[in-house]
Amino acid sequence: MAIVWPCPLPVDVYAAAGRAVEFPRPDCPSCAGPLVLWSGYRRHVREAGRCWKIFVPRLRCTPCRVSHALLPAFVLAWRLDAADTVGAVLGQVAGGVCGVRPAAARAGVPYTTARGWVRRLRARGLELGTGFAALAVELGGQAIRPAAEPGRFALAAVGAAFAAAAGLPGWLQLGAWRFASSVSGGRLIAANAGSPFLVAGKRRFMPPVPSAPP
Ligand SMILES: [Zn+2]
């Protein structure tokens, strides 16, 4: 299982820092006990047409016997492309700015890849929209009603939740898509249809921590 932390670092800075990034130590999402650094792995992330190899630490909860990958918010689980890249395409297509082909060209990703993201957003639009709309209200933001088009509803709800979160310290500089990745556990457009917003009856809403580049 992955925990996504609201990492404010640019991708290149994070990649260059390797294990020296000041990683947060969240509590175990299941039992709220302490997590200890266990190991880690490397994975790729593509941003602006470049591939970066990044270090992802693993944290382990001893009582639960479970380890969690600690992903930076600029990635999505099981996706090569950065959250901001995916978000830019989703925003343009679901927002009615342009079709998939020009959005994919602008983002520098294959057309079929971008089409897959948009399809997933539409398939999960109602569920995502409902989750983000509830989060927006919880954070004191604007209430969003479901739109006729599920993708557009999800987009509006992400926007409303981010606008509300941006009033809290630290979130504004992250941007909407790192925010969306953080609160959805990186599963913004994952196949899994479970509710990513609730973990053991508690919202997974980790506050950003000020983190200076090492
Ligand atoms: Zn635990």
Cα of 135 vs centre of ligand 1, distance in Å, is 25
CA 123 to ligand 1 centroid distance, Å: 32
Distance 33 CA to ligand 1 centre (A): 5
Cross-strand bridge partners of residue 61:
66
Q: Predicted confidence band at 184 (pLDDT cuts at 50, 70, 90)?
A: confident
Query: Which one, of 200, 214, 103, 206, lies nearest residue 151 by Cα?
Result: 103
CA of 31 to the centre of ligand 1 (A): 4
49 sits in the region (left: phi over 0; alpha: psi -120 to 50; else beta) called: left
> Is a pLDDT exceeding 60 seen at residue 197?
no
CA 32 to centroid of ligand 1, rounded, Å: 6
**Distance from the alpha carbon of residue 38 to the mean position of ligand 1, in angstroms:** 14
Asked whether residue 212 carries a pLDDT value surpassing 70, the answer given is no
52-103 pLDDT per residue, tens: 999 999 999 999 999 999 999 999 988 999 999 999 999 999 999 999 999 9
- Residues 49, 83, 86, 141, CA torsion sign: negative
Our CA angle for 122, 127, 133, nearest 5°, is 110
CA 89 to ligand 1 center in whole angstroms = 36
The CA 195 to ligand 1 mean position distance, Å, reads 19
Torsions phi, psi for 98 (to 5 deg): -160, 175
* For the chain, percent of residues with pLDDT exceeding 70: 89
Q: How many CA atoms lie within 13 A of 114 on its CB side?
A: 24
Q: Whole-model pTM above 0.85? A: yes
Cα of first residue to Cα of last residue in the chain, in angstroms, is 27
Query: 60 C-alpha vs ligand 1 centroid, how far in Å?
Result: 8
The first and second tokens of residue 176, run together, are 């909407």
